[in-house]
Amino acid sequence: MPDRAVRPATRSGPEAPRGAVWLYGSHAIAAALANRGRRLRRLMLTEEAEASIAAIVPKPWPVTAERTDRARLDQLLGRETVHQGSALLADPLAQPSLASVLERRGPVLVLDQITDPRNVGAILRSAAAFGVAAVIAQERNAPEETGALAKAASGALERVPLLRAVNIARTLIALKAAGCWVVGLDAGGGVLAGGALAERRVALVLGNEGEGLRRLTRDTCDEIAGIAMPGRGGGLDSLNVSAAAAIALYELGRVR
pLDDT single digits (tens) 108-160:
999 999 999 999 999 999 999 999 999 999 988 888 999 999 999 999 999 99
Q: Is the pLDDT of residue 66 over 80?
A: yes
CA-CA distances (angstroms) from residue 243 to 75, 191, 199, 246, 256? 33, 16, 25, 5, 21
How many Å from the N-terminal Cα to the C-terminal Cα in the chain? 61
Pairing of strands 180-191, 223-226: parallel
Q: Is there a contact between 49 and 86 (Cβ–Cβ < 8 Å)? A: yes
Domains defined along the chain, listed by start: 21-90 (3.30.1330), 98-253 (3.40.1280.10)
Q: Is the pLDDT of residue 61 over 80?
A: yes
User: Comparing 7-11, 45-49, 54-58, 182-186, which segment has the lowest mean pLDDT?
Assistant: 7-11
Q: Is the pLDDT of residue 235 over 80?
A: no
CA 108/CA 70 separation, integer angstroms = 39
Residues of the chain above pLDDT 70, percent = 90
* Of 252 and 228, more confident: 252
Element of type H or E holding 91: none
Report the mean per-residue pLDDT for the chain. 90
CA 194/CA 116 separation, integer angstroms = 28
Q: Is there a contact between 123 and 50 (Cβ–Cβ < 8 Å)? A: no
- pLDDT one-digit tens code per residue, 98-112: 999 999 999 999 999
Q: Secondary structure of the chain in the HEC alphabet? A: CCCCCCCCCECCECCCCCCCEEECCHHHHHHHHHCCCCCEEEEEECHHHHHHHHHHCCCCCCCCEEECCHHHHHHHHCCCCCCCCEEEEECCCCCCCHHHHCCCCCCEEEEECCCCHHHHHHHHHHHHHCCCCEEEEECCCCCCCCHHHHHHHCCHHHCCCEEEECCHHHHHHHHHHCCEEEEEEEEEEEECCHHHHCCCEEEEEEEECCCECCHHHHHHCCEEEECCCCCCECCECCCCHHHHHHHHHHHHHCCC
